[in-house]
Structure 1
Amino acid sequence: MIEVLSHRGYWKTPEEKNTVEAFVRSFSLGFGTETDVRDSQADGAPSIVISHDIPRGGEISFAELLRIAKQHGSPLLALNIKADGLHDMLAEVLSSEGYSNYFLFDASVPDLIQGVKRKMVSFTRLSEYEREASLYDNPGVSGVWIDNFLPGRWYDAALIERILADGKQATLVAPDLHGRHDEYEPFLQWLVSSGLNERDGLSVCTDFPERAQLILTGRDAA
């Protein structure tokens, strides 16, 4: 069955993005999450923190996020790499916290190579602008992050099925993440009509995880 990932936690107001409250809400409802990781010295010693923008201090540490996630059954974490050269620090924290249900994505190609070399769970990416996925045939690449920046849907179900048939996972960026709210429910209905909502190894990332879950599981009463 397709998995639903919240985007920067399940936030209700923009100020809640990437906060403990948003992550706890997401995990408590059974959703994994996408979030952003960066290195920081804002609070003293070098560390990995959860932050979309340049850290200014007071951000959640990566280790704290993993501990919160473990308290809620270790849901899937999609870790958006916001700076190069983080793999050794990330690997150290993941190992020390014993967390394996994750994947790294959006690393630069040189950093993607570094993640693969370290046997970390690494996704390549596709979009309208990236029609060939870097390192796709490398067995160390576990999946594909599939983005969609422009109106409309550039890919079809056959592409997703080919990726899954190749033994890789796939995560789809829902249109709402790019502000195209009019496309959101038609996109979810397409996943249902194509049967992709029943496929294992597939996930969708959205700011509205509860709505997505209702439609994708056929429990939508609206």
Structure 2
Amino acid sequence: MTMLWAWERPEDLRFIDPATTGVAFLAQTLTLENDEVRFAPRRQPLEVPDGTYLIAVTRIESIRRTESRPVYSPRQLERLTSLIADTLNRPHVRGIQTDFDAVVTERPFYRKLVAELRSRLPANTPLTITALASWCIGDKWLNGMDVDEAVPMAFVMGADTERVRSYLKSGKDWTEPICRESYGVSVDEPPIEGRKAGRRIYYFKNTPWKRDDPIGNT
């Protein structure tokens, strides 16, 4: 199934075919600051056809200012787990995804969060994460992460852009097994060459989706 990421903006996706296309929508943004978790729910409307496969995405951010850096406490872990798990209760949501560009020092905390989520969610609930492309080609920190899928974000890669694009174009695959179920790409960037056939594609767009967007050509 093709997936469209629907971020924080009004989205009218009633034109999609729910038999072939699902939607991973931003449900909330959670920001770690000191010993707190700031909660910002989605405020923009989202319209989809009946029967659309929906994934509730939680964006996690952390304040970098020295005086406000998070402490990654058990209290924050519990608050994050509760808020993310609660997105499964939204109408027609079938899976959960977290989007956290965790730096090296945040990775142990993120692993704990994923483990807590897995234990909190009903059995067989799809739990996925987004993954920086660099995490999937040599960075082994995702080994053993208890998720159904880590979606490699092969767009907005900054300094890694040419390295990752050349790596995939050469025919190589992601070295991390949980990254081999899908690709995350942007319709605003040139197509990624060398993608393996048969994998789910998540599409991102910086502006609202339209019926004639080049899905499938990126």
TM category (shorter chain) comes to 0.5 to 0.7
TM-score for the superposition, normalised by structure 1: 0.52
- More displaced stretch, 66-75 vs 1-10: 1-10
Note the alpha carbon deviations across 1:35-68, whole angstroms, 9 max, x for none.
312575589823166xxxxxxxxxxx34223223
Query: Structure 1 regions of 5+ residues with no counterpart?
Result: 50-60, 198-203, 205-222
Query: Structure 2 regions of 5+ residues with no counterpart?
Result: 12-26, 30-39, 63-69
Q: Which residue of 1 aligns with 2:178?
A: 140
Note the alpha carbon deviations across 1:88-119, whole angstroms, 9 max, x for none.
22222232223732321134628963323234
**Matched pairs, number:** 165
RMSD between superposed Cα atoms in Å = 4.5
Q: Is the 8 A contact 2:28 2:57 kept in 1?
A: no
- Cα distance in 1, alignment partners of residues 95 and 9 from structure 2: 12
* 1:69-148 aligned within 5 A: 69-83=88-102, 84-85=106-107, 86-98=110-122, 100-107=125-132, 109=135, 113-120=140-147, 121-127=149-155, 129=161, 130-131=164-165, 132=167, 136-141=174-179, 142-147=181-186
Query: Offset at 1:23?
Result: 9.0
Equivalent position amino acid for 1:109 in 2: W
Q: Is the 8 A contact 2:87 2:96 kept in 1?
A: no
TM-score for the superposition, normalised by structure 2: 0.53
Query: Offset at 1:170?
Result: 2.1
Between structures 1 and 2, the one with greater helix share: 1
Matching of residue 32 in structure 1 with residue 70 in structure 2? no
Between structures 1 and 2, the one with greater strand share: 2
- Cα distance in 1, alignment partners of residues 44 and 88 from structure 2: 8
Measured at CA, do residues 5 and 101 of structure 1 come closer, stay the same or move farther in structure 2, by a change above 3 Å? Answer: farther
Q: Is the 8 A contact 2:85 2:121 kept in 1?
A: yes
Note the alpha carbon deviations across 1:112-138, whole angstroms, 9 max, x for none.
633232342212232371313696154
Matching of residue 67 in structure 1 with residue 86 in structure 2? yes
Measured at CA, do residues 114 and 75 of structure 1 come closer, stay the same or move farther in structure 2, by a change above 3 Å? Answer: same
* 1:1-222 aligned within 5 A: 1-8=1-8, 18=29, 19-20=40-41, 22=43, 30=52, 31-38=54-61, 40-41=70-71, 45-47=75-77, 61-83=80-102, 84-85=106-107, 86-98=110-122, 100-107=125-132, 109=135, 113-120=140-147, 121-127=149-155, 129=161, 130-131=164-165, 132=167, 136-141=174-179, 142-147=181-186, 153-155=189-191, 159=193, 162-165=195-198, 168-176=199-207, 185=210, 188-191=212-215, 196=216
Q: Is the 8 A contact 2:129 2:151 kept in 1?
A: yes
- Cα distance in 1, alignment partners of residues 87 and 47 from structure 2: 11
- Cα distance in 2, alignment partners of residues 95 and 9 from structure 1: 32
Q: Percent identity between the aligned chains? A: 7
Q: Which residue of 1 aligns with 2:35?
A: none
Q: Is the 8 A contact 1:38 1:81 kept in 2?
A: yes
- Cα distance in 1, alignment partners of residues 44 and 143 from structure 2: 27
Q: Is the 8 A contact 1:147 1:172 kept in 2?
A: yes
